[in-house]
Structure 1
Amino acid sequence: MRISACCFKFLAIIFWICPTAIAVAQSNDAQRHVIVISIDGFASYLVDDPKVPLPTIRRLAREGCVVEGGMTVSDPSVTWPNHTTLVTGMKPGRHGVLANGVLVRGGIGVPVKIDSHRDHSDLVRVPTVADVAHAAGLRTAEVNWPCTRNSKSFDDQFPDVPNALDYTTPRLRQELVKKKLLRDETHASFRNSSIVGLDYVWTEAACHLIRERKPHLMLIHLLNNDATHHKRGAQSQAGYTANAYADMCVSRIIDAIDDAGIREHSTIILVADHGFTVTPKAIRPNVLLREAGLLTVENGQLTQAQVHVVPEGGIGLVYCTNPLKASEQAAEFKKLLTGQEGVADVLLPDRFDEVGFPHPRDYRQVPDAVLVAKDGYAVSGTVTGETLVTTFEEARTSYGSHGFLAKLPKMKAMCILSGAGIRPGTQLQDVHNTAIAPTIATLLGLKYPDADGKPLLNALRTSADAE
């Protein structure tokens, strides 16, 4: 049985109106703190790479629990969908975030666009663990966390969204200016910084919030790793430098926890949203669609489309703009691309259960087919050029990529839990990132029963451990 998008919205409203159904009220003197640090693109294989200096991260692993072989992420293995999975415990097909923004279908002949300028309520169609924590009276904060713009569930926020400072909590914005972490309160001056500079500001903002507000739930997202890995590859000299800098940022956050006097009550969950692979080649499916007369290009730009592909790194979301012809055209697309160089698979809706997607008729953002590239090839959205396969430079894709199906081992993400409530020296295997939100809920004493994943109980201390 399929559940419509309207039903999902209705359930979310019921949960929101009745938070006691999913939250356990906390006493005013609650001492538990969970700090979630996401280092974007920190592949699991980097944790044990001897070329990477990671003293802080490896100490947390030794003192706590590490997921051996890495944590399996959700499809698509891109940033906003997986950060939302981390705080909902649900796969993107349920929580609704399938890209770094809302996928907007504009009607017959109109190409689908990704709109990143959206509020939390436009993006996420289920309650998050932050919603539950805030409803239970816990202090919450986020720094650069995706899909949080204008959320009502954070006491302080600095969201991952275009024009982030415009949506940052005013008091936090003013405090960061006073501490000279920001030149002023305008987003334009903030974005003049390098990506390393942005990570520095986000780290110091998180440290400030930990010291001053002592949030019970703190979400932090750092980006320099991802940017560097895209440009140079994860296991390049530049990539290793980015890894080391991320380790230093984690160290700064731990120092802030110590300064706040909450270390013995704090659990650190160190994760990533996806891994990385190198993609020196790219496939340009829209070139074939242009040659087949299925899309129109004017002055090098896509203007109209019966069928076109929106790239997501190692996969492409295939949209047929006429719903009456979608099934037929998706099948034709599969015939056109199957067997071509660089193409691993084409999934039609009858196989969407493999990636956790509902049928496109049940959720408009869902594509009509999914193009899967082989490892080493990225999917390009360009509509110019003469060949399907080309270099990453000509296709304007990245040398390092993610977005591949989560079953590709290189897409596995780092996952380490350390501190209060965690059994030291624990190693887990076969962990999916849907387990993180229910684990957060368990650590904070909250009920969160509707996640796809289950809490990582084998990593958590019990009363027997304390004896």
Structure 2
Amino acid sequence: MKKLFSLLLILSFIAGFSQTDTTQVIVPNRTNSAEALSKPYVILISTDGFRYDYVQKYLAENLMKFSESGVVAKAMIPSFPSITFPNHWSLITGLYPSHHGLIDNFFYDYKRKEPYKMSNKENAEDGSWYGGTPLWSLAEKQGMLTASMMWVGSASNAGGARPTYYYHYHEKFTPNEKVDKVIDWLKLSEERRPHFITLYFPEVDASGHHFGPGSNETKNAVHLVDAAIGTLVEKVNQLGLKNVNFIFVADHGMINVDREHPIAIPEILFDKNRFDFYNSQTLLRVVVKNPEEIQSVYKELKKNKTNDYRVFLDEKFPRKLNFSQKDDRYNRIGQILLVPKVPKIFLEKDQKTSIGKHGYNPYTVPEMKATFIAFGPAFKQNKKIGEFQNVNIYPIVTDILNLKITEPIDGTQKVAKEILRK
């Protein structure tokens, strides 16, 4: 009996320790302004790792149908580096990573003297790490209620105002459960109904990492999300709301990498008295602690490098990637960048990696490019457009919702003018 009691106690402790907070958070005492009540609705959907060619490659029926009735881009170009947190924050702020400060999923801030890790809830929900004004904050400050289903940074106070309705990040909800919660938001009374909603799906990215972009598992994940989108649109239509618009995007693509022949990190960089380095495997950022050594270290790294990667002084990094020293508003990038040639990756000894990865230059590695499909009353029909940068999503949303952009962004009105009816 004592053994049974002890076992139950242990199981109870484990269950309590691993309990996930799935409760919705509602900011009290907010209602839509009179002006907001008459405005359209925008549902911005991100499917992590949904590569630009997945719709056709895997015959995603619903997204194919919606792209034919609305606007579809040849591809959407992620910001550099083409990874999850920087790009979701670029999509929602209209700023490049070097300008909003989220330059990697993991980085160190030398002014704050502390690290940022996407897996650290305290970091992820601390708005002081995030620059720019996210769309939900912009809308809330202008009298419009918003809601977010686990978009990067949505549980933080970045920009000065959280969404009225949001969840702490977890992966307990299925895609259809997320859809049902979005529908519940849209069933609220007019004064409490959000007009801007962000919705995030991680399944395609997870399958791409674990099994590769060409796997049956990734195909099944694409179909899973595609079915959820179809259900979402059907249920929204049943509500009879006027002027509901959908924007389907991704943060980046995916490619198989060479796990069998990784690049060894140069031995010199392991001298912690002289260097810090940050390895995302598709990019190695180096901080030289003594600024007087930067040039000599750069020359030494170039001299001893292999043909599998290139070495850049950050100040000389390709301009179109907006990741150079003069772009680095938060001084978080580092002074020297080591960039592997596809499909190579940097690995430390005994470090593990996945089959599929992202993070490479989207201009030279097309597999990094993302999907863009938009449909609804605000958008032109049967419209195909070329490639564009993801920072242009921000002004598309502000134009539809008639929100005033209150601070400079990197996106422009060009794409909005091309695809919107007005």
Q: TM over 0.5: same fold?
A: yes
Superposition deviation, residue 423 in structure 1: 0.5
- Structural RMSD (CA): 2.6
2:237 is matched with which residue: 258, 264, 267? 258
Residues 71 and 415 of structure 1 are in contact (CA less than 8 Å); yes or no, is this contact kept in structure 2? yes
Superposition deviation, residue 424 in structure 1: 0.4
| Residue 362 to residue 443, structure 1, CA distance change in 2 (3 Å) | closer
Superposition deviation, residue 453 in structure 1: 1.7
2:101 is matched with which residue: 90, 96, 120? 96
| AA in 2 matched with 1:88 | T
| Residue 371 to residue 461, structure 1, CA distance change in 2 (3 Å) | same
| Residue 350 to residue 28, structure 1, CA distance change in 2 (3 Å) | closer
**Identical aligned pairs, as a percentage?**
22
| AA in 1 matched with 2:209 | H
Residues 33 and 266 of structure 1 are in contact (CA less than 8 Å); yes or no, is this contact kept in structure 2? yes
1:207 is matched with which residue: 179, 183, 189? 183
Per-residue CA deviations over 1:203-224 (Å, capped at 9, x if unaligned) read 4433332333542110111101
Alignment of 1:374-413 (within 5 A): 374-380=341-347, 382=348, 384=349, 395-407=351-363, 408-413=365-370
CA distance in 1, matches of 2:91, 2:396: 10
| AA in 2 matched with 1:267 | N
CA distance in 2, matches of 1:285, 1:260: 56
Superposition deviation, residue 54 in structure 1: 1.1
1:154 corresponds in structure 2 to 163
Partner of 1:396, secondary structure, is coil
Per-residue CA deviations over 1:212-256 (Å, capped at 9, x if unaligned) read 354211011110100000011112111100100010121232233
| AA in 2 matched with 1:210 | L
CA distance in 2, matches of 1:324, 1:149: 41
Partner of 1:43, secondary structure, is coil
Partner of 1:325, secondary structure, is helix
Structure 2 unaligned segments of length 5 or more: list them. 1-32
| AA in 1 matched with 2:223 | A
| AA in 2 matched with 1:131 | S
| Residue 331 to residue 205, structure 1, CA distance change in 2 (3 Å) | farther
Residues 155 and 162 of structure 2 are in contact (CA less than 8 Å); yes or no, is this contact kept in structure 1? no
Alignment of 1:191-340 (within 5 A): 193=172, 198-212=174-188, 214-262=193-241, 264-281=242-259, 283-286=262-265, 288-289=266-267, 292=268, 294-295=269-270, 304=272, 306-337=274-305, 340=306
| Residue 104 to residue 461, structure 1, CA distance change in 2 (3 Å) | same
CA distance in 1, matches of 2:289, 2:116: 12
CA distance in 2, matches of 1:342, 1:127: 39
Partner of 1:48, secondary structure, is helix
| AA in 2 matched with 1:461 | R
Per-residue CA deviations over 1:57-93 (Å, capped at 9, x if unaligned) read 111101100002x111100100111111111111111
| AA in 2 matched with 1:132 | L
Partner of 1:371, secondary structure, is strand
CA distance in 1, matches of 2:114, 2:133: 30
CA distance in 1, matches of 2:86, 2:291: 25
Q: Does 1:123 align with 2:91?
A: no
Alignment size in residue pairs: 374
Per-residue CA deviations over 1:332-373 (Å, capped at 9, x if unaligned) read 333332xx1431x22212223342125288533112222211
CA distance in 1, matches of 2:420, 2:168: 30
Q: Give the TM-score normalised by the residue count of structure 2.
A: 0.81
CA distance in 1, matches of 2:298, 2:114: 15
CA distance in 1, matches of 2:183, 2:340: 40
CA distance in 1, matches of 2:127, 2:44: 22
Q: Does 1:367 align with 2:328?
A: no
Residues 107 and 278 of structure 2 are in contact (CA less than 8 Å); yes or no, is this contact kept in structure 1? no
Q: Does 1:39 align with 2:6?
A: no
| Residue 105 to residue 204, structure 1, CA distance change in 2 (3 Å) | farther
2:390 is matched with which residue: 430, 433, 438? 433
Residues 60 and 223 of structure 2 are in contact (CA less than 8 Å); yes or no, is this contact kept in structure 1? yes
Partner of 1:27, secondary structure, is helix
Q: Does 1:141 align with 2:97?
A: no
Q: Does 1:72 align with 2:111?
A: no
Q: Does 1:346 align with 2:311?
A: yes
CA distance in 2, matches of 1:77, 1:60: 26
CA distance in 2, matches of 1:310, 1:198: 33
1:301 corresponds in structure 2 to none
| AA in 1 matched with 2:211 | R
| AA in 2 matched with 1:349 | D
| Residue 219 to residue 334, structure 1, CA distance change in 2 (3 Å) | farther
1:420 corresponds in structure 2 to 377
| AA in 2 matched with 1:458 | E
Partner of 2:56, secondary structure, is coil
1:461 corresponds in structure 2 to 421
| AA in 2 matched with 1:364 | N
| Residue 322 to residue 204, structure 1, CA distance change in 2 (3 Å) | farther
Residues 210 and 256 of structure 1 are in contact (CA less than 8 Å); yes or no, is this contact kept in structure 2? no
2:28 corresponds in structure 1 to none
Residues 91 and 356 of structure 1 are in contact (CA less than 8 Å); yes or no, is this contact kept in structure 2? yes
Partner of 2:339, secondary structure, is strand
Compare 135-144 and 245-254 and name the one that shifted more: 245-254
| Residue 450 to residue 342, structure 1, CA distance change in 2 (3 Å) | same
Per-residue CA deviations over 1:125-161 (Å, capped at 9, x if unaligned) read 121222211111111011110122332231011144x
Superposition deviation, residue 378 in structure 1: 2.5
| Residue 454 to residue 111, structure 1, CA distance change in 2 (3 Å) | closer
2:14 corresponds in structure 1 to none
Residues 315 and 405 of structure 1 are in contact (CA less than 8 Å); yes or no, is this contact kept in structure 2? no
Partner of 1:250, secondary structure, is helix
CA distance in 2, matches of 1:284, 1:198: 38
Per-residue CA deviations over 1:96-116 (Å, capped at 9, x if unaligned) read 111125534499xx9976464
